[in-house]
Structure 1
């Protein structure tokens, strides 16, 4: 799970830097939310690009497979626009596979 979350975060941050049209002094936001069932990775970019993220149609190409990787490891992914400022948030949710005993108790 940790490896998958790190991979998804890396792909989404890389996409934000490369494809959002942001400048060198812009800030890329990152949020990681963990629940009993999911790990949610969110990356916010301030870019002004008019196009949203899209899945590559040629999966054998050496470049541009980030969202294909995210789609393969995540239970879901999507894009949200910011109403009050330019940019967007791209997110994915990774399902946590607990052993049959379920998640550990919070109390010792």
Structure 2
């Protein structure tokens, strides 16, 4: 299957949902739509618009910078951790290649992590448990405590 969605309806489950996407540009709007649809039943108090913007940036980066000699997919997972929301984006790229840039005003690219850094309460990159790289962000107070 080219695209999959995993939904976890149990409210006390830390993982609320996940999606697997093809590494193609069309996956970016698909990730936004699916996240909006599947986060809605959990009634987050945080800005879903901000979350979808950050997901768009991280999925774009995953598609652009993911590398593998074999066919590969982008995996997005979202979790409730207490009152916080954590979103992870996995790809087969190299963790050491993830870096925050400060682009010049006329640079066409390089603002994705800068946006995540300015919107999220925190973000992290490193080795993925799936192999490759994970970049994640946390939004605190996404639900009442």
The two structures share one fold, judged by TM-score above 0.5: yes
- Is the aligned partner of 1:91 residue 2:136? yes
1:38 and 1:96 in contact (8 A); partners too = yes
Runs of 4+ residues deviating >6 angstroms: none
Tell me which protein shows more helix as a share of its residues. 2
Bigger radius of gyration among the two: 1
TM-score (norm 2): 0.58
Q: Any gaps of 5 or more consecutive residues in structure 2?
A: 1-46
Q: Any gaps of 5 or more consecutive residues in structure 1?
A: none
TM-score (norm 1): 0.75
Greater RCO structure (CA 8 Å; 6+ sep): 1
1:69 corresponds to: 115
Give matches, 1:5-16, under 5 Å. 5-16=51-62
Q: How many residues align?
A: 98
Q: Give the aligned CA root-mean-square deviation in angstroms.
A: 2.6
